[in-house]
Amino acid sequence: MFRIAPIALAAGLVGSAAGAPEGCHPPYAAGGSYVSGSYVSATSTVETPVPCDCALPSCPSSEGQTAGCSTTTTTTETHNYKCVDGGNSAYCGVAGFEPATLHGYIAWTKESAQCSSGCPGAYVSGESYAAADKVSVAGPAYTAVYECAASPLNKFCGLPGYAPGSGNYWRTVWTLLGSCAGTISPTSSPNYVSLADAGGCPDAWEAGAFKYEENDKVSKNGLVFECRIFPFSQLCGLEGYEPLGELWWEDAWKTAWTVVGYCSGTSSPTTSPSFDRDPAKHVGGCPDEWVEGTNAAYEEGDMVSVTVSTSPLRKIAYTCKTWPFSGFCGLYAPNSGRPDDQQGWRMNGSCSGSIRPTAAPSFGALNLVAGGCPRDYDENNLSGIGAGDRVSLGRVVYECKSGAVSAYCSQPAFVPGGQYSAMAWDVKGYCEGTMRPTMAPTSYDNAVLRGGAAAVPPACQAEAASGGTVAKCYYEKDTTTTGVSCTCGDSDCPNPSGLEATSTACKKDVTVTSCPAVGEYASGSSYEAGDVVRVGTTRFKCREWPYMLWCRNEAYAPSLDSGIWSNAWTRDGDCPATSAPKCLVANMGPSNGDPLRYEDASGSVKICFDGWNAGAGASLEMDVAGLGVSTTGGVHIHTGTSCANATAQGGHYWEIRASDAAPGKTAGDPWFGDIADIAPTGTSYTTDANGLGTADFAFDSGTGLDDNVGRVVVIHDTYTADGGDYARVACGVLVESATLDPHCLVANMAPSNGDRYDAVSGTVKVCFDGWNYGAGANLEMNVAGLGVSTMGGVHIHTGTSCADASAQGGHYFVTTRASDAAPGKTAGDPWFGDTADIAPTGTSYTTDANGRGTADFTFDSGTGLHDNVGRVVVIHDTYTADGGDYARVACGVLAEPAP
């Protein structure tokens, strides 16, 4: 069908109405050169019986017939026909097998719908086309007809770069059906007078990816064609670009080839190079001999030599070509004689002696990737690589593409820089130094907020009302229920009918805000406006209606790269990173005895929790010397906060879960060690012949790290069942592990509040001297994409979202020392940067000529790490005193750094 699509966006999203009949292909011509897939049109006569009145003279009837009479009407119909596949296609041009004839069905397939003369509507760039829509593109000799691909590819049919017959990617979404008007004139004989005589003809063109490079020559029909310069040279071996080809666009081949002359006969084979006799082609000393390797063994610009004879000694020097041809350099020797041996190497000339190895490429054409090099690409360790992950190979940084193709990144055939690299990886630039590897999206752990139900933000009305919890990475979603009964006299209850104030017949709309967890994008989901998903830790929000209809289309899946996804989604900041295990340590010493039973007891007990919250599992590791020899006892957390005596130490510390109770034991107490699901391997330690006690076991006391800070660990002597008295012989207080000092949070920064600098990226790291209220801190900033050669402010704000200025809030600090207030400033606010003892060097950053902003300063906001988890860091543009507007231009949420 033809179609003139409606311009309205909503109509383009949900479909379109049917249009006019399909145009007719050129009429069948007897003796034509038809092949499988050829289209023609043919006209046939159709006789149709029509009921008539038997009494009328014009109505044929039998003698005495009074009913059931009919006459015949004759009409002509024109249909399109397609030459069949297989061996019968040989009959398509043979007499007796013409379409619309008795035996035509053997060679031709008839389309059921009639066609109409003329062409479908002309292609319009920017239009919205439905699957199977047909358009026409007028050429100098004929008009071509194209059909738009099935969903979801039809979404691209009207986009720039996909114009049928001319766009770089048109064959991805359009199919050439044939022509609808005019004829294709035969090509005239070439005018050899105006072309140079190239002598013998080079080889004929052959299809093959990377088959040809710039300046390679082929011949066809007595003409010589030369492959154009890069990047057009990459097209020279592709189907559809054969010189004088007419596969899909009459002049497509001219994009790749240039006519340079005419020829006759064949070219003489080239002789062995005589570089030793031609000083102009001698390159000096020889680089190292070529050594076979992987497709990453050599980089562009690397030089090798190959020995072509040993007596006399003759060598030829070669240079490895640019990517992607460099992938062949380690696979094929320059003179191997194999079909691909010239794909990777360019011959330089003869050489003698030796030279220093060529240095690694300078990558002057690539951008420097900030932050150092990600992990090296390891073809033997590809598991877990996902969309957005970065690797380095020879100091070139590659990023795994998003969407379905990200699955290729973990397959060896798609090695970065290799033949199929572009299908899975994007080149991001070059790197220096090292950096942490990017986390795979699947590794993200969206745990609940610290504090469980008590930590639910006030805005999360649904969870607060139900006593539920909220994930660390969440978004706010409003749900409105209409027609909720209310008391007519209440101020928030509409009463348009003037009912009695005590009546409950009035109705109102009730909106409740819930806070769902931000999950990974999932194709096929029915996303709505305002829904938030993530790719890795990057958040994306579904746009408002009608754009939200695209959120449900996989073709618009959000991505870490630019693309059409932005028509459906907007970036929404970053999720907090996955946190490391949280650990406490108790330094053990002798206790409970006069005299002390083991006065030399010393060592540590380390306990790591899976989370901050109540109910988090944990593990205990003990390494304490000076205990009884070759024995077994118990090691437990107790309720007390002092080791002074048994009373101060208290009893076992745990939270009740009655269903876990073992017969005869206190419900849910893991420290008895015989309740399988909360202490599966017991809670005992053993000592060796020297009295060194060790333990390593998992347990679940129904508590988390926050609940255990300051409590004591008690070591009991030999069990009574083993002849001991199970006395308390050592004790220590659980404190924050020294390995966690300093306590740091990291914010991944992104554009905000107007996207003035839409390429902002980098981190702000804030390290505190302690967990607790009033701990000093240090801030380090390394963020690219800001204004150049300027100075602004970087601060922690009260908000927990980067959505807008209101959500970000104002400066975050605790007013505890009024004497620190600067004149005219809020007492104790370090973010003004002029209060000596709480921000001695200010709270500013500076940028260089490339817009990279850095900062490194100490401050004291009267808060500690726990107070700042989940709050935002805001970067302000140039100070007003320096002529700027001090706008908020970047934002990120402080989170526990990944392990």
Is pLDDT above 50 for 20? no
Instruction: Name the E strands within 667-776.
Output: 684-687, 693-699, 712-716, 728-736, 743-751, 761-768
- The string over 641-672, giving b where at least 16 C-beta atoms fall within 10 Å of a residue's C-beta and e elsewhere, is eebeebeebbebbbeebeebeeeeeeebbbbb
Is 80 exceeded by the pLDDT of residue 774? no
> What is the C-alpha to C-alpha distance for residues 755 and 857, in angstroms, rounded to an integer?
26
Q: Which of 306-315, 356-365, 526-535, 593-602 has the lowest mean pLDDT?
A: 356-365
Cis peptide before 663, with omega less than 30 degrees from 0? Answer: no
Tell me: pLDDT of 865 over 50. yes
pLDDT at 285: 75
Q: What is the pLDDT of residue 637?
A: 94
pLDDT of residue 52: 85
pLDDT for 323 beyond 70 = no
Q: pLDDT tens across 542-598, in order?
A: 988 777 888 888 778 888 776 778 888 998 988 876 555 578 888 898 998 878 899
CA gap 396, 392 in Å, rounded: 5
Q: How far apart (Å, rounded) are the C-alpha atoms in residues 708 and 734?
A: 7
Element (H, E) at 806: helix 805-808
Q: Which of 445-449, 698-702, 795-799 has the lowest mean pLDDT?
A: 445-449
Name 316's bridge partners.
306, 350
What's the CATH architecture for 582-654+679-736? Sandwich (2.60)
Position 247 scores a pLDDT of: 45
- At 465, which helix (H) or strand (E)? helix 461-466
| Helix/strand/coil percentages in the chain, nearest 5 | 15, 30, 55
The answer to whether the beta carbons of residues 121 and 135 sit under 8 Å apart is: yes
Q: Residue 721 in 3-state DSSP?
A: helix
Q: Which residues, 6+ apart, have CB-to-CB distance to 362 below 8 Å?
A: none
Res 117: pLDDT: 59
Share of the chain above pLDDT 70, in %: 76
Q: Which two tokens stand for residue 426?
A: 């994007």
Provide the pLDDT for residue 836.
Answer: 59
* Res 775 pLDDT > 60: no
Look at residue 194 in the predicted model and tell me its pLDDT: 43
Q: How confident is the model at residue 432 (pLDDT cuts 50, 70, 90)?
A: low
Distance, CA of 621 to CA of 613 (rounded, Å): 20
Cis, bond preceding 324 (omega within 30 deg of 0)? yes
Q: How many angstroms separate the CA atoms of 875 and 891, rounded?
A: 6
Query: pLDDT at residue 271 above 50?
Result: no
Model pLDDT, residue 618: 82
Is the per-residue pLDDT at 35 higher than 50? yes
**Residues 620 and 673 sit within 8 Å (Cβ to Cβ):** no
Comparing 391 with 661, the larger pLDDT belongs to 391
Are residues 85 and 26 in contact, defined by beta-carbon separation less than 8 angstroms?
no
How high is the pLDDT of residue 8?
26
Span 830-857, average pLDDT: 81
Strands (E), 356-419: 390-393, 396-400
User: What mean pLDDT is predicted for residues 702-713?
Assistant: 84
Under 8 Å between Cβ of 713 and 637 = yes
399 strand-pairing partners: 390, 426
In 334-460, beta strands by DSSP E: 345-351, 390-393, 396-400, 425-430
Average pLDDT over residues 28-32: 79
| DSSP type of residue 271 | P
Residue of 783, 812, 828 lying closest to 871 (CA atoms): 812
How large is the average pLDDT for residues 36-62? 82
- Per-range mean pLDDT, top range of 328-342, 447-461, 664-678: 447-461
Per mean pLDDT, which range of 2-6, 596-600, 717-721 is the poorest? Answer: 2-6
pLDDT band at 507 (very low <50, low <70, confident <90, very high): very high
Task: Please indicate whether residue 522 or residue 835 has the higher confidence score (pLDDT).
Answer: 522
pTM over 0.85: no
pLDDT tens-place string over residues 480-501: 898 999 999 999 999 988 999 9
The better pLDDT of the pair 334, 239 is held by: 334
Which fold would CATH assign to domain 743-816+828-894? Immunoglobulin-like (2.60.40)
> Which of 239-253, 257-271, 306-320, 437-451 is predicted with the least confidence, judged by mean pLDDT?
437-451
Tens-digit pLDDT profile for residues 142-154: 677 888 988 777 8
Between 599 and 774, name the one with better pLDDT: 599
Which CATH number describes the domain made up of 518-577? 2.10.10
Instruction: From 417, 405, 414, 404, select the one nearest 382 (Cα to Cα).
Output: 414
- 37-46, 423-432, 454-463, range with the lowest pLDDT: 423-432
314 pLDDT exceeds 70?
yes
What does the pLDDT read at residue 150? 84
pLDDT given for residue 846 in this prediction: 92
Gap between the Cα atoms of 35 and 392, Å rounded: 50
